[in-house]
Amino acid sequence: MRLHSSFVLCLGLSLALPAAQAVDLNTLKSVTGAVSGATASKPGSSASGLSNSDMTGGLKDALAVGAERAIKGLGKAGGFLKEWSDAVLFAQHETFAVKDGQRSKGVSTGARVVHTEREAAFDAKNRYGLPATIPLGWSEFVDAIAAVDSAKHAEALRAEIATVTAKLEDAELTPKVEKAVADAGDNTNTLNEILNRVQARAAKKESV
């Protein structure tokens, strides 16, 4: 793949990698310090009540996890960076395969897009639950993350509305609520209004 037509974007590396390293180093220092302090004060025990063997075992486990992550990235190009990154995005011009008689040819729309999931032709990933393809641009990337969060919030609201409605046991009200929820889609403001209404109805029923 030519470099001028496509490239890989690694987001959050400068923040994720140093932060993770700092946590690991601080954790190791605290554990080793505790072990050293416990050994100096009283063999076989520590101020926290943990034995030397417990703390040593914890240290070994931490080192084993670090070694496992390191080995995981050894056999891959850019494995260490990709493992730490929350998003590895592959950008290119949007193309489609079009049949021309017996042959197929690639046709570009001119649009610049970003792929967020791995495919046979490229490597990509994300931990945000993004769509497989989004427009290339920072604002579009941020909007896509916000949309995922909004969809999750909407799903939680729908579940809560269903729970409260079921407790009302109102055969006439239930289909009306279900229709209102369906019409609201992922609009969290409307869903919150529906939830407030059914909760008010439930509170009124309990007070009777």
pTM, two decimal places: 0.48
Residues of the domain holding 97: 87-136
Q: Based on the domain organization, do 68 and 122 belong to the same domain? A: no
Whether 131 is in a domain gets the answer yes
| pLDDT class of 40 with cuts at 50, 70, 90 | very low
In a 3-state reduction of DSSP, which class is residue 90?
strand
Q: Which of 84, 112, 127 is the last residue of a domain?
A: 84
Are 91 and 77 in a shared domain? no
- Same domain for 79 and 100? no
Sign of CA dihedral 24, 25, 29, 30: negative
- Go through 108-141 and write b for each residue having 16 or more CB atoms within 10 A of its CB, e for each that does not: eeeeebbbbeeeeebbbbbeeebeeebebeeeeb
DSSP tag of 152: H
* pLDDT of 174: 94
Tell me: do 108 and 127 sit in the same domain. Answer: yes
Same domain? For 80 and 97 the reply is no
pLDDT tens digits for range 45-99:
444 566 777 778 778 887 777 676 666 665 666 666 777 788 888 898 888 778 8
- Is residue 113 within 8 A of residue 49, CB to CB? The reply is no
Would 2 be classed as within a structural domain? no
Answer yes or no: do 114 and 65 share one domain: no
Question: Are 59 and 91 part of one and the same domain?
Answer: no
**Same domain, yes or no: 15 and 79:** yes
Residue 6 domain-assigned (yes or no)? no
Q: Is residue 142 included in any domain, yes or no?
A: no
pLDDT digits (tens, 9 = 90+) for 147-189: 888 999 999 999 999 999 999 999 999 999 999 999 999 899 9
Task: Record the tokens describing residue 173, joined without a space.
Answer: 């009200």
Number of domains forming the structure of the chain: 3
- 43 and 74 fall within a common domain: yes
Do 160 and 132 lie in a common domain?
no
Residue holding tokens 């610049």?
A: 112
Beta bridge partners of 134: 114
Gyration radius of the chain over CA positions? 27
